[in-house]
Amino acid sequence: MDEKLLKEGIEQAAREAGDIMIKASHPKVMEKSGHANFCTETDEKIQEYLVERLHGILGEAEFLGEEDGQDVFTEKMKKGYVFIIDPIDGTSNFIYSYRPSVVSIALLKDRKPYMAVIYNPFDDMMFSATAGQGAYMNGEKIMSSDAPLSDSLAVFGTAPYYTELRDRTFDIAKKLMPLCVDIRRSGTAAWDMCCVAMGRCSLYFEMRIQLWDYAAAAL
């Protein structure tokens, strides 16, 4: 499939998924394993929509999504195309109307990052990247900052599902505070990594995240 058309198709799917997120109100909330590890009916609705929509774009692809209850590659995912989906990265933010939350879609080819799209529907910010071709936001190329940490913001995640990591996380944040301008926390790993990619922050850390949290943003 033409690479440009493929990326445009994934971007459009992400935009449509973002519309579902924005239009949702008072979603039913389910708690998964781990502290503050939530899923809403909107997470499930968006993931189902994306699987169907992306299958229409690239029918040969396999899928791995946060709401599958599966966090490892099956044998058939080791070759060819695999979409890795986080329908709402920042579900707690979404539940409490605390921005942002994003749609995250990564496409792997033979287990290597190939294409990525992250969409923040609340600010209409579309991030995209193709391996070896740089990263873009709303069609404009973005670059990370080369400013020293002392002149930069840092951003971090608290890995809230893993309470055993809490003390170490905040110990690191405390040590980092005097080394940078200030520290921020958004509540979505994918968005934090996008902020580093476009130069808003110079450093992101979190003690533990899942594949669907970083698969797109890392590219």
Question: Which domains can be identified in the chain, with CATH numbers?
Answer: 3-140 (3.30.540.10), 149-214 (3.40.190.80)
Strands laid side by side in the 125-130 sheet:
62-65, 81-89, 102-109, 112-120, 125-130, 135-137, 140-142
- Using only the alpha carbons of the chain, give its radius of gyration: 17
**pLDDT exceeding 90 applies to what percent of the chain?**
82
CB 203 within 8 A of CB 210: no
Main-chain phi, psi angles of 140, to 5 degrees: -100, 135
pLDDT(6) > 70: yes
Q: What is the pLDDT of residue 72?
A: 57
pLDDT(71) > 60: no
Residue 97, C-beta contacts closer than 8 angstroms, at least 6 positions apart: none
pLDDT(198) > 60: yes
d(CA 42, CA 60): 26
pLDDT(152) > 60: yes
pLDDT(70) > 80: no
Q: What is the pLDDT of residue 77?
A: 73
pLDDT(145) > 70: yes
pLDDT(173) > 70: yes
CB 147 within 8 A of CB 47: no
- What count of other Cβ atoms lies within 10 Å of the Cβ of residue 203? 17
Q: What is the pLDDT of residue 31?
A: 64
